[in-house]
Structure 1
Amino acid sequence: MNATRVRLLAWKEVRQLRRDPLLLRILVLMPVLQLVLLGYVVAADVTRMPTAVVDLDRTPLSRQLGDAFEASDYFDVRRHPGGESELRGLMDSGEIRVAVVVPVGTQARLDRGETAPLGIVVDGSDSQSASLGAGYASRIVARFEARRVAAPAGAGHPGRPPAGEGMPHTPGVPGLDASVRVLYDPTLSSVNTMIPGLVAFILMLSLMVVMSQAVVKERESGTLEQMFVTPIRPGEYLVGKVAPYAVIASVQASLVLAVGILWFRVPFRGEALVVVAGLALFMLTSIGMGLIVSLLSRTRQQAQQSVMFLALPMMLLSGFIFPIDSMPAPIVPLTRLIPLRYALEVLRGAMVKGAGFEALATPLAALTVFGVLLFGTAVLVTRRRLTE
């Protein structure tokens, strides 16, 4: 690979960008404008969450309480940790969002007519899920307690409480007293959930829009054919074409992150290296998707429509707006094919939770696979088109 040719080709791309100052301003200002607007208006809702039940009491009553959560449509009990110390790791990795902790001696306290504390731990990195999860859990506990008092011997296993049924236990009155503890974001601010998602979404959309025009624009203007008669190799053409936009995307991501942290006061509890690694892998994936669209499109309008066609399902199925656990069961497997899903898990996990590489190994590995496949496919298609 000739470094001089790559440098000259990259300089050509920079010169083309400078000839269109409006496009350059849009590339810089559009993500900030989108962040400010969407950061205030976007909201989410949820009806089901992955849950863990920590049964430290191990009595018939504690097992019935665990069954009440398993029978509820609001919760999906996936884990039964042996101790409360395991909850932090499970929440860091995103395996659970809600945990119910039944302390030792719960049934003994109730048998003596005393108040028995019950712990409900929620993942505050998703404010909507945390608020609803805490409310639903309190209602299930209240309904369980009402049935226990009314018919302790023949009480069923409470499931999903009907609307308006069940009130939280009154402190000081003997019975189960559910106390909620919010991890990561005690204030339950929705901004702390949405801003990391917007960083990934804006980066993906900007890169796909720009890269989708990269090759098809030259094909329409006739400059692509001129490239064929030069000694530039396919690899040099690809690197020179991608390099300027990768730099612009890096600036965009840094700018959006800075605005989110400084303007919206989103906490940054994790390691910067984790965020950089996640964004770099996701950037590679987005560039690959944009290049594939550009190589397969015949006109710029076709490329634009293709990007919008791809962006909509990615936005809806990634968990950016609608939580994945609230989607119908047949759709959930499709979300595993959405790269944006894993970018959101990395950014929210690193920024809000402070999770490291170990806890985020799964989404980082998924982004690596997507980056290699999509960018590799773009390289192969580019080589084939340039050598035809």
Structure 2
Amino acid sequence: MIGAAQSRRRIRLLIWKEFLQLRRDPLLVRLLFIMPILQLVLFGYVVAADVKHLSTAVVDLDRTSTSQALTAHFTGSDYFTVTQYPAETGVQQLMDTGRIAIAIVIPEGTQAALDRGEAAPIGVLVDGSDSQVASVGSGYAAQVIARYNAERVANAGVVLAAPGIDARVRVMFNPTLAAVNTMIPGLVAAIVMISIMVVMGQAVVKERERGTLEQMFVTPIKPVEYLIGKVTPYALLATAQLLLVAGVGVFWFKVPFAGQVSVVAAGLGLFMLTAIGMGLLISLVSHTRQQAQQMMMLLLLPSFVLSGFIFPLDSMPAAIQPLSWFIPLTWAIQILRGAFIKGSGFEALALQFWVLGGFAVVIFGAAIAATRRRLAE
């Protein structure tokens, strides 16, 4: 009992020490809370990028030569890659799990309506959780249908305008295609990564430069106590930032939240462990704060570019896309966008949680082991 009480007291003192050090650097504390607001303003709205090879599903309920020809126009386009031919009831599941970004529904009786000289509506379902992909994809789908309709009319020898295929586009999850609705959830994850890595990346190396780390080694503090005392203040600071960013996104930018708080909390918890682990590893291997800053830039730049945060993954070359699988921010963004916009639960996001959980175990576990070994030397 006495030992446990002393351990808790040492942890409280370590936490208090970290907060005192932050208090002595008021500019850093102000920047940590001003930076999210600036990022929200700068990245709140993003210009859509060109998107190709969208994962597409075709629901052919007509099963005629017309529906086959229309499907061929989509498969022959560089902007669509038809990967699924599900029943109409299977579209929702495919879109929930992110296996398709767009679905073309050809209703029964399409060819018969065209033969009678009537308009034939074609359904285009677009995943609006990524507004850039949804905006570009729906426009390209309408162009493909219009081009097929023009060819059909020309082949029939019709000179005057005649009823044809009528594309009915319906965007799921984000009907307004507001870019801010997809940017804010991704920005939450990005801010977690930036803030934690910036502070944690210099936590140990700063003490090494000041000579206080060696003084810490001669105290009765245990490695576990040091880790808890070192990590807790910054985890609390990151949580405060998250609440600030989420509050601004929901109440200022009016970003809808259709999911469950538990899904968001679990995803961010795993991602925070990953970011803390990366920050600790950087701080342990760096000898100066300048080295730590360079290493952080080395990790942050590819994370932002290849994770789908700024540029859609579908717009990247096929050879580069697999690199995004090895970036934790990729999976965190997918969880947050799925929870915020789609309302996806743990079942639909199971793959993302498993991968992000694997990153958290490996990276945070490696950071703990490296810190304990460093303190034991």
* Alignment TM-score, normalising by the size of structure 2: 0.94
Counterpart selection for 1:296 from 248, 262, 285: 285
CA distance in 1, matches of 2:92, 2:12: 48
Aligned to 2:10: 5
CA distance in 1, matches of 2:257, 2:39: 21
Q: Is the 8 A contact 1:91 1:123 kept in 2?
A: yes
The SS at the match of 2:300 is helix
User: After the TM superposition, which parts of structure 1 deviate over 4 Å for at least 4 consecutive aligned residues?
Assistant: none
Map 1:158-197 onto structure 2 (within 5 A).
Answer: 173-197=162-186
**Alignment pair present for 1:114 and 2:103:** no
Deviation track 1:41-87 (CA, whole Å, cap 9, x = no partner) reads x333132221111111122221222122111110121211111x322
**Alignment pair present for 1:316 and 2:301:** no
Give the percent of matched residue pairs that are identical in Structure 1 and Structure 2.
61
Q: Is the 8 A contact 2:206 2:289 kept in 1?
A: yes
Q: Name whichever of 312-321 and 89-98 sits farther off.
A: 89-98
The SS at the match of 1:370 is helix
Aligned to 1:285: 274
Counterpart selection for 1:211 from 200, 211, 216: 200
Q: Is the 8 A contact 2:48 2:136 kept in 1?
A: no
CA distance in 2, matches of 1:46, 1:3: 55
Unaligned runs of 5+ in 2: none
Superposed displacement of residue 88, structure 1: 2.1
CA distance in 2, matches of 1:232, 1:341: 37
Counterpart selection for 1:241 from 230, 245, 249: 230
Give the residue type in structure 2 aligned to 1:117. P
Q: Is the 8 A contact 1:102 1:119 kept in 2?
A: yes
CA distance in 2, matches of 1:190, 1:137: 20
Give the residue type in structure 1 aligned to 2:63. R
CA distance in 1, matches of 2:375, 2:302: 31
Unaligned runs of 5+ in 1: 154-169
The SS at the match of 2:55 is strand
CA distance in 2, matches of 1:28, 1:19: 16
Aligned to 1:163: none
The SS at the match of 1:269 is coil
Aligned to 2:99: 95
Counterpart selection for 1:145 from 146, 149, 156: 149
Superposed displacement of residue 290, structure 1: 0.7
Give the residue type in structure 1 aligned to 2:155. A
Superposed displacement of residue 146, structure 1: 2.1
Counterpart selection for 1:376 from 362, 365, 374: 365
Aligned to 2:87: 82
Superposed displacement of residue 36, structure 1: 2.1
Give the residue type in structure 1 aligned to 2:18. E
Deviation track 1:174-199 (CA, whole Å, cap 9, x = no partner) reads 21111111111211111111111111
CA distance in 1, matches of 2:363, 2:226: 18
Deviation track 1:198-223 (CA, whole Å, cap 9, x = no partner) reads 11111111111000001100111111
Map 1:251-262 onto structure 2 (within 5 A).
Answer: 251-262=240-251
Aligned to 1:226: 215
The SS at the match of 1:95 is coil
Counterpart selection for 2:47 from 43, 47, 56: 43
CA distance in 2, matches of 1:15, 1:132: 50
Q: Is the 8 A contact 1:314 1:338 kept in 2?
A: yes
Map 1:57-76 onto structure 2 (within 5 A).
Answer: 57-76=62-81
Cα 1:152–1:330 change in 2 (3 A) is: farther
CA distance in 2, matches of 1:339, 1:347: 13
Give the residue type in structure 2 aligned to 1:386. L
Aligned to 2:32: 27
Superposed displacement of residue 14, structure 1: 1.3
The SS at the match of 2:44 is helix
Cα 1:46–1:93 change in 2 (3 A) is: farther
CA distance in 2, matches of 1:363, 1:50: 18
CA distance in 1, matches of 2:99, 2:185: 19
The SS at the match of 1:216 is helix
Give the residue type in structure 1 aligned to 2:242. A
Q: Name whichever of 15-24 and 193-202 sits farther off.
A: 15-24
Q: Name whichever of 55-64 and 304-313 sits farther off.
A: 55-64
Superposed displacement of residue 152, structure 1: 6.5
Q: Name whichever of 365-374 and 123-132 sits farther off.
A: 123-132
Q: Is the 8 A contact 2:132 2:312 kept in 1?
A: no
Give the residue type in structure 2 aligned to 1:296. V
**Alignment pair present for 1:337 and 2:342:** no
Give the residue type in structure 1 aligned to 2:233. P
